[in-house]
Structure 1
Amino acid sequence: MGRAVPAVIRALDILELFLDGETLTAPEITARLGLPRTTVHELVHTLTDRHYLSTVPDRPGHFRLGMRVFQLGGVFAGQLDLAREGQAAASEVAARCDETVHVAVLEGTEVVYVAKVDSTQPVRMVSAVGRRLPAHCTAVGKLLLAMLPADAFAARYPRRAALTSMTPHSIASVAALGRHLATVRANGIAYERCESNDAVACVAAPVRDHEGEVVAAMSISVPVLRWTDESAAKLTDVVRDGADALSARLGHRAGRPLPPPA
């Protein structure tokens, strides 16, 4: 492998500070990254000159992501069939159940949401495409972790690794996570109740590609005030159907032999 270039790393660190959608000043960037003030000013000037950052018209000294980032993201989204097809499939599921629907992929020990359709109901989950959450705290994440080969899971979660807790209900140990995932793997469905958000419950199903590999998960998220045994059973059927429909969009043929579970 080639040597990482420090200046490029620093420029990317600056860009990644803006992933939450906020605007920042050069002194704020300097403070967050601990870089020399001169270095930050030079990098910010270069990124602005190349349109990766832009100034905020009504907020002197503040910067936000620029048009070039949007253009690159558009090219990426155009190449990623999962994002496009996931959005279409999620829209169909949301129309059927009127709850918030997500499609997510696994990246390390986190899930990244690549598609989302909101519920029209006044009480609903608030989230965003591109958001990351600890995989073990979410239904989509637990579904995807359950489908990993044993060695891939162990590489992500050493036996004594500390797990982030988002609520008091989050799974707190790798051993407990392993036991939970065995159930998920056996059932082919994952549930989460108040593990990432005290007020939300979710159910998730696997999305497979043309080779039968699990490449994503689809979930339906519901405020706990609407989560009952009856609604959970209905939403489980809906999310299974939706995940199967998205799998078909990705070229998966129902009934063909599937890879064995991990």
Structure 2
Amino acid sequence: MNETAARNWDSAKPAPAVLRAGAVLRALAASGGRALSAAELATAADIPRSSAMNVCVALTQIGLVRAVSGGFALGPGLTELSQAYLDALDPVREFGTRTRAMNQIDETLQLGTLEGTDVVYLALHGGRMPLRITSRVGSRISATCTALGKAMLAAQTDTRVRALLESRQPFVSHTENSITDIDTLLADLDATRQRGYAVDAEETTWGITCLAVAVPGLPDGAQPFAVSTSLLTSQAKPERVDSLVRLIRELVTEIGAGSGSSR
């Protein structure tokens, strides 16, 4: 960002109507597919009911929201926007290209990025034996208990990780194995750096082990990405783990190289 653009950015003020529209869209996204009335959206977005209705009418006109029985729901226009966002991300494009050319494997591969303290899933490549817990594109989960999250956090310094997460203790817990404090997490990240890949040892779901490696070769300060796979813990024998880690390492190396060459 040049100096003039920086000055303009610093002096700019967010438009209230846009913030309200964002709050409405987030409320609809969190509804689990259930239609919400204008009154419910007003409560969720903390805005007057008349404002919620005006926002929904505007969003309906541009296809981001649709009017349905019982209120409003997300609209098909979001699909076009989300796909455009994903298409603009080199690692997502590279992940799709590389996985389509791979021999099919049993396990599902997942590409994610780090947004704040959460992992957001961006792309999936289904295996022959997909697990029931496979995440959907667009879903998010705490980075502290996922292999994807820990792979990307391990690429940062302990000081940065502490600044990002220390105030959020205790971290969200999904199982008794979930890491809930910063010191345990930092020890886990150190182990991740030593072995070269991250492990979620039944920290998100009992009976499931996840392995992940961060995409290398991205510019300093760039958005991080990582690839993971999940398998039954009963099948996580050393030979199988080593084989999957080799596959993921090859994939992320190709993604990193391809992303770099396309910039």
Does the TM-score normalized on the shorter chain lie above 0.5? yes
- Aligned pair count? 248
For 1:40-189, what aligned pairs fall within 5 Å after superposition? 40-56=52-68, 60-92=69-101, 95-121=103-129, 123-158=131-166, 161-189=169-197
Aligned position for 2:36: 25
Q: Is the alpha carbon distance of 1:82 and 1:123 closer, same or farther for their aligned partners in structure 2, counting shifts above 3 Å? A: closer
Q: Is the alpha carbon distance of 1:214 and 1:81 closer, same or farther for their aligned partners in structure 2, counting shifts above 3 Å? A: closer
Cα deviation per residue 1:163-208 (whole Å; 9 max; x = unaligned)?
Answer: 1112211011101001111111122211111111223211111212
* 1-10 or 133-142, larger mean C-alpha shift: 1-10
Shift of residue 141, structure 1, vs aligned partner: 0.6
Aligned amino acid, residue 35 of structure 2: L
Structure 2 stretches lacking a partner, 5+ long: 1-9
Aligned amino acid, residue 191 of structure 2: T
Shift of residue 251, structure 1, vs aligned partner: 3.0
Aligned position for 1:6: 16
Shift of residue 157, structure 1, vs aligned partner: 1.7
Q: Is the alpha carbon distance of 1:188 and 1:123 closer, same or farther for their aligned partners in structure 2, counting shifts above 3 Å? A: closer
Q: Is the alpha carbon distance of 1:92 and 1:169 closer, same or farther for their aligned partners in structure 2, counting shifts above 3 Å? A: farther
Cα deviation per residue 1:80-114 (whole Å; 9 max; x = unaligned)?
Answer: 22211122334455x44320111111111111111
Aligned mates of 1:173, 1:140 — CA distance in 2: 18
Aligned mates of 1:45, 1:210 — CA distance in 2: 41
TM-score (norm 2): 0.84
Shift of residue 238, structure 1, vs aligned partner: 1.7
Aligned position for 2:204: 196
Q: Identity of counterpart residues, as a percentage?
A: 28
Aligned amino acid, residue 18 of structure 1: L
Aligned position for 1:248: 257
* 116-125 or 228-237, larger mean C-alpha shift: 116-125
- 1:239 maps to which of 236, 248, 256: 248
- 2:233 maps to which of 206, 215, 224: 224
Aligned mates of 1:44, 1:55 — CA distance in 2: 8
